[in-house]
Structure 1
Amino acid sequence: MKKISTIVFVPFAAMIFLTGCNEKDEVNSAPPVGKSESTQNTSADEETQDNKEAGFTFKVFDLEAEYEKGSYEVEFDTLGSKTEATIDDGLENKKLEGDEAMRKLNTTLNKLDINSETPDEEVISEVVKALGLKDDYKDIKLEIQYSDNKEKEYQASGK
């Protein structure tokens, strides 16, 4: 009987030992796959198309409007890996960021019909109207990078 148990035990022990010493490195789940260069670097045409689908003719929109009793600032940026949006309304003491700011900007900035060839005065006028700002500003500074990659700066002083 001892011989039978030894004959059964020795191969069983060897099987367990050899399984533990397996040199095969199996991975149950694949490692996270990084984005390839082709997906990380989108072309200007793709970015232009994305902005058109969102209704915008620009990639970056940075506005600072100064009033007697406060300021109104908007920052919108689609250049990085994600879209960033902030509205800092010092006139009403409100600050919106992220999705909340983006929802408001979608409804207001979609009204803009401007491009890099639009006259400066018309751009300022359209922006003030679209954002529902008053015309009695002391100073407005606006920087826009359009979807055609042209960057323009606009400035207007007190009306």
Structure 2
Amino acid sequence: MKKLLLVAVPVLALSLAACGNSDDDKKEKDQSTEQKAQNESTNESTDSSVEETDDQTVLDDPNLKQETPFRDFSLEVNYPKGEYSIEYELEMNGEEAEIEDEREQKKVVGADALNEVKPLLKKLTFDQKTSDEDVKKQILSILPIDEDYMNIELEVDFHDHVEKKYIFTK
């Protein structure tokens, strides 16, 4: 009986170990297949104008950093008859912009908004060290802000991740 146990226990242990490895191999293979599928769907959904590399994202692209001084730009101008706003974001998969003018019931999004917003933002040269008065002068001279505004709220996130909020009243 002892001889049978001495032979049966190691055989049983080897059998279980072999089964365990095949399950682990199968799990790794399933995870690998799932990861590849996720990567492919991510690559398909990204904008074709965005070039991806293994080590670099769009947010790290020095060319886009030079195009605008901001990662995020949010402007709200309040008028007696409604609000005007500009939104711009540099995201992992590209840029987004939106312009909304309640006074004229007008909303521009996507490529059209980017084509309007980016040339304006490129002209802005202020950074986090610029005085509030100089920031106000720049946005009033460059952005389409009418003289009858009541107040302006501006939030920006610079490329070095410094966020600033400005509030200007007339």
Bigger share in helix: 2
Identical pairs, percent:
30
Q: CA deviation at 1:117?
A: 1.0
1:111 CA drift (Å): 1.6
CA RMSD of aligned residues (A): 2.7
| Residue 151 (structure 1) shift | 0.5
Following superposition, the deviation at residue 47 of structure 1 comes to: 4.1
- Consecutive unaligned residues of structure 1, counting only runs of 5 or more, are 1-29
Contact 1:65–1:140, Cα closer than 8 Å, also in 2? yes
Residue number among 31, 47, 50 corresponding to 2:64 in the alignment: 50
Give the aligned partner of residue 65 of structure 1: 77
Structure-2 separation of matches of 1:140 and 1:79: 25
Give matches, 1:93-104, under 5 Å: 93-104=105-116
Distance in 1 (CA, whole Å) between partners of 2:134 and 2:56 is 34
TM-score of the pair, normalised by structure 2: 0.64
Cα shift readout 1:57-83 (whole Å, capped 9, x = no counterpart): 111000111001111001100133221
Higher relative contact order (CA closer than 8 Å, sequence separation 6+): 1
Q: TM-score, normalised by structure 1?
A: 0.68
Contact 1:48 1:148 in 2 (8 A): no
Residues 128 and 67 from structure 1, CA distance in 2 versus in 1: closer, same or farther, beyond 3 angstroms? same
Q: C-alpha separation between the residues in 2 aligned to 1:41 and 1:94?
A: 36
Cα pair 1:57 1:147 within 8 Å, conserved: yes
1:9: which partner in 2? Answer: none
Moved over 4 A (4+): none
Match for residue 143 of structure 1? 155
Number of aligned positions between the proteins: 125
Structure 2 unaligned spans of 5+: 1-35, 44-52
Hey, what does 2:130 align to over in structure 1? 118
